[in-house]
A and B are shown apart, each in its own frame.
Chain A
């Protein structure tokens, strides 16, 4: 276990380094730069900015100085917004995305898991078709349709929530539900699939034959194996959920990481792109490490190597 963890740590550092390097060079290949504006910028003005951010130096030099700063924990200033430091931007935005994301995950698991389990156990009955059809509607309605519909009902018609913004104690509800419903649909369908896969296995039959109560067979014995695909799916999805969904944050006007990331790409804000991508990579390797542990725990046949 310790060896496995150490191994993964080294591997993870390599992954982050590779992501850092590829991203660094990839964004420089894209047309445009952080100082583009609809009104043409005189060359003198551009030169001042380019020099101030060190973009006039050879790319290799920039690469190593940037990496040096990152190793010191300095994420550099944003290039598109004067006086904004990337570490502060992330510090302010990440908790918001995280709150929304985790609440969404709560909604997703709370709805998706029970629906999937019931559907699998009562296969081909109305308890299967009903929740699964609802799940399908969740999958067919993209967030940019679901969000405005929920807003129209709960925000504009019943006036229960604000339609956008991050001001009141209840402002996380609608975005979390919008995001959660989509994931709930995925989880429900994958749980059902995974459960069906397991419910007919020998060990379940054995358990049943031994007289273990039905619900216990389902929840204790079958769910373990049945969750495998869900866990494998949720691993990377979790990193995405936690770093915020651009569409959700846009519809609800939330100052989360998703908006910053997309805006930084459109602005070609080189340093902010890099900072958000690296943060995402770190989260991703951590979450994937945890899911691998979880998979090994669920499925004893898997050995951690």
Chain B
């Protein structure tokens, strides 16, 4: 009987599968705490391990363990920096020339000497079109940065100079009082010239220098193992300048995209930190496990883009009516429930910056504006669609807003879901009516939320353009006085909000589940783990989830 024989065959395959069915070392949160290996979900797979090509939060969090810039974000505060590869630094009077003094014992993770020339070489590499670095524009701040990128000047003319092996001088295009904060961004970090040149072309995407056995960095950790779609693990870098003060022996980054899956892993004691928390479980965690859940604002703005080239939506009164008809508080309290803040403007709260508070939930105002635009009680308003990508929270928000506009303004709204790639393409091609989107701060400065709306800015994607707004942004870039500069940015945001190509909804929070064994998890606005400072305690202290987390 072949079917039966087939069955036996399968059973034997099953048995073999049972013996070989494992891919990697098993480890759970308790063991991890004992061995000082931090287990974190990092949400997605890194697309690039070449530091200078990185463009996502996922990659950024991995890079924070493998590399270090001149200065690092302060472990406790958002508006300060602490020494990184530079032990001290100073600027000239107008803050346009900065001098950094490198750590005495700076080395690459393979033991090779680390010098100021490494920074200079890295900046020159980053500013070459052949490399194709998405964040190259960050380095336009260097004198001759943009001309070098455009091939108009020689490499030597770039405003980055090694005075000696331990001293780096950066000449900027203008006065930049907040430069140290900007220099925390990955685009200002160094890459290992000696390794890149050894394995292939300097600018070649296919250069294998980022392979598991080749990658060299200067951060607190070095790459140990990379199993695609399983995890990426880093281990202690003994050559790190401050290795003695690094507490962890390793970090394992998982790439789990589904928040239900990571939450189950956490509950089973297989993770130290999740990336997020499923929408439906947030209230329960906030209420019953406040010691486990880590909920903090994270400097992100969530909003609807409006395609200002569409009929009806091209009328600013219509756009303002839509913005006034959003009951932000109700959506936060009833749908999102993670203590987000209602957004009256585009820029989240940042110290020293005066936010524009343009919109509140104001139905009479919304109805009046809609009537003025020629659509009293929504009569004759053309049907339009809200574009979202497939995501639980997006869908709930879109459906809630859809109902609000229909029930409050009497206009008919549809919701269109698209797969992420199509969703991005539709926005770029202005092939949408209204689109749900969010923006995370690249660095701690309001400009990161305002620059993007410049005329023809790559991330504008609304068809909106305003000359005064563009002029204010240009002014801000030339302004030496920090306070005055922030004032200009507030003015620019005011114009943006008055024209309303974007309907702000809320300022985001992060809601992560953190294992009780974890010490020093940062709760800053920029959600970047400070890997050299984090610690794990063994045995884990008591918590409200011991019944689940301490059983194995």
The answer to whether A and B assemble together is yes
Determine if B424 and A38 form an interchain contact, defined as CB atoms under 8 angstroms apart.
yes
Determine if B551 and A159 form an interchain contact, defined as CB atoms under 8 angstroms apart.
yes
Determine if B421 and A36 form an interchain contact, defined as CB atoms under 8 angstroms apart.
yes
Determine if B22 and A167 form an interchain contact, defined as CB atoms under 8 angstroms apart.
yes
What are 5 of the A-B contact pairs (CB < 8 Å)? A39-B134, A148-B260, A169-B22, A253-B265, A263-B45
Determine if B3 and A113 form an interchain contact, defined as CB atoms under 8 angstroms apart.
yes
Complexed CA–CA distance, A164 and B23 (Å)? 13
Q: Give the contacting residue for B132; candidates A49, A148, A227; CB below 8 A.
A: A49
* A37/B424 contact (C-beta < 8 A), A113-B3, A156-B268 known: yes
* A165/B270 contact (C-beta < 8 A), A223-B3, A255-B229 known: yes
Closest to B212 in A: A83
Stretch at the interface among B24-32, B181-189, B242-250, B321-329: B24-32
Determine if B18 and A170 form an interchain contact, defined as CB atoms under 8 angstroms apart.
yes
Complexed CA–CA distance, A96 and B20 (Å)? 10
- Let me know if A115 is at the binding interface, CB within 8 A: no
A31 contacts across to B, CB distance below 8 A:
421-422, 425-426
Determine if A77 and B206 form an interchain contact, defined as CB atoms under 8 angstroms apart.
yes
Complexed CA–CA distance, A37 and B45 (Å)? 13
* A266/B210 contact (C-beta < 8 A), A41-B134, A156-B264, A170-B18 known: no
- Let me know if A145 is at the binding interface, CB within 8 A: no
A202 contacts across to B, CB distance below 8 A:
none
- Let me know if B10 is at the binding interface, CB within 8 A: yes
* A169/B264 contact (C-beta < 8 A), A93-B229, A253-B256 known: no
Determine if B47 and A82 form an interchain contact, defined as CB atoms under 8 angstroms apart.
yes
Closest to A260 in B: B229
- Let me know if B13 is at the binding interface, CB within 8 A: yes
Closest to B3 in A: A227
* A89/B228 contact (C-beta < 8 A), A37-B56, A48-B131, A103-B17 known: yes
B binding-site residues for A, Cβ under 8 Å: 1-3, 6-7, 10-11, 13-14, 17-27, 45-50, 53, 55-56, 129-134, 136-137, 203-206, 208, 210-211, 227-230, 254, 256-258, 260-261, 264-265, 267-268, 270, 419-422, 424-426, 428, 457-459, 461, 548, 551-552
A156 contacts across to B, CB distance below 8 A:
264, 267-268, 548
B19 contacts across to A, CB distance below 8 A:
169
B206 contacts across to A, CB distance below 8 A:
52, 77, 83
Determine if A37 and B55 form an interchain contact, defined as CB atoms under 8 angstroms apart.
yes
- Let me know if A45 is at the binding interface, CB within 8 A: yes
Determine if B228 and A102 form an interchain contact, defined as CB atoms under 8 angstroms apart.
no
Determine if B422 and A220 form an interchain contact, defined as CB atoms under 8 angstroms apart.
no
How many A-B pairs have beta carbons closer than 8 Å: the answer is 190
Determine if A40 and B23 form an interchain contact, defined as CB atoms under 8 angstroms apart.
no
- Let me know if A70 is at the binding interface, CB within 8 A: no
Expressed in whole angstroms, the minimum distance between the Cβ of A270 and any Cβ of chain B is 12
* A44/B132 contact (C-beta < 8 A), A82-B49, A159-B552 known: yes
Expressed in whole angstroms, the minimum distance between the Cβ of B377 and any Cβ of chain A is 37
**Interface set, chain A 237-281, CB cutoff 8 A to B:** 250-253, 255, 259-260, 263, 265-268
Q: Give the contacting residue for B424; candidates A32, A89, A250; CB below 8 A.
A: A32
Determine if B258 and A102 form an interchain contact, defined as CB atoms under 8 angstroms apart.
no
Determine if B18 and A165 form an interchain contact, defined as CB atoms under 8 angstroms apart.
no
B134 contacts across to A, CB distance below 8 A:
37, 39, 41-42, 45
Determine if B208 and A83 form an interchain contact, defined as CB atoms under 8 angstroms apart.
yes
Determine if A255 and B17 form an interchain contact, defined as CB atoms under 8 angstroms apart.
no
Determine if A167 and B265 form an interchain contact, defined as CB atoms under 8 angstroms apart.
no
Expressed in whole angstroms, the minimum distance between the Cβ of A105 and any Cβ of chain B is 6
Determine if B133 and A45 form an interchain contact, defined as CB atoms under 8 angstroms apart.
yes
A37 contacts across to B, CB distance below 8 A:
55-56, 134, 424
B55 contacts across to A, CB distance below 8 A:
37, 39
Closest to B419 in A: A266
Determine if B227 and A255 form an interchain contact, defined as CB atoms under 8 angstroms apart.
yes
Closest to A31 in B: B425
Q: Give the contacting residue for A102; candidates B13, B47, B56; CB below 8 A.
A: B13
Closest to A230 in B: B3
Expressed in whole angstroms, the minimum distance between the Cβ of A52 and any Cβ of chain B is 5
Determine if A159 and B421 form an interchain contact, defined as CB atoms under 8 angstroms apart.
no
Q: A80-B47, A255-B227, A267-B421 are in contact. List 7 more A-B contacts (CB 8 A).
A: A32-B421, A45-B132, A113-B7, A162-B26, A164-B265, A169-B18, A172-B17
Complexed CA–CA distance, A46 and B53 (Å)? 12
B228 contacts across to A, CB distance below 8 A:
81, 84, 89, 92, 255
Complexed CA–CA distance, A277 and B396 (Å)? 34
Complexed CA–CA distance, A266 and B14 (Å)? 32
- Let me know if A99 is at the binding interface, CB within 8 A: yes
Determine if A102 and B17 form an interchain contact, defined as CB atoms under 8 angstroms apart.
yes
Q: Give the contacting residue for B261; candidates A44, A251, A266, A267; CB below 8 A.
A: A251
- Let me know if A236 is at the binding interface, CB within 8 A: no
Expressed in whole angstroms, the minimum distance between the Cβ of A104 and any Cβ of chain B is 10
Complexed CA–CA distance, A272 and B37 (Å)? 33
**Interface set, chain A 105-159, CB cutoff 8 A to B:** 105-106, 109-110, 113, 148, 151, 155-156, 159
B210 contacts across to A, CB distance below 8 A:
82-83
Closest to A43 in B: B458
- Let me know if A171 is at the binding interface, CB within 8 A: yes
Complexed CA–CA distance, A3 and B11 (Å)? 33
- Which of A49, A93, A166, A227 has the most chain B CB within a 10 Å cutoff? A166
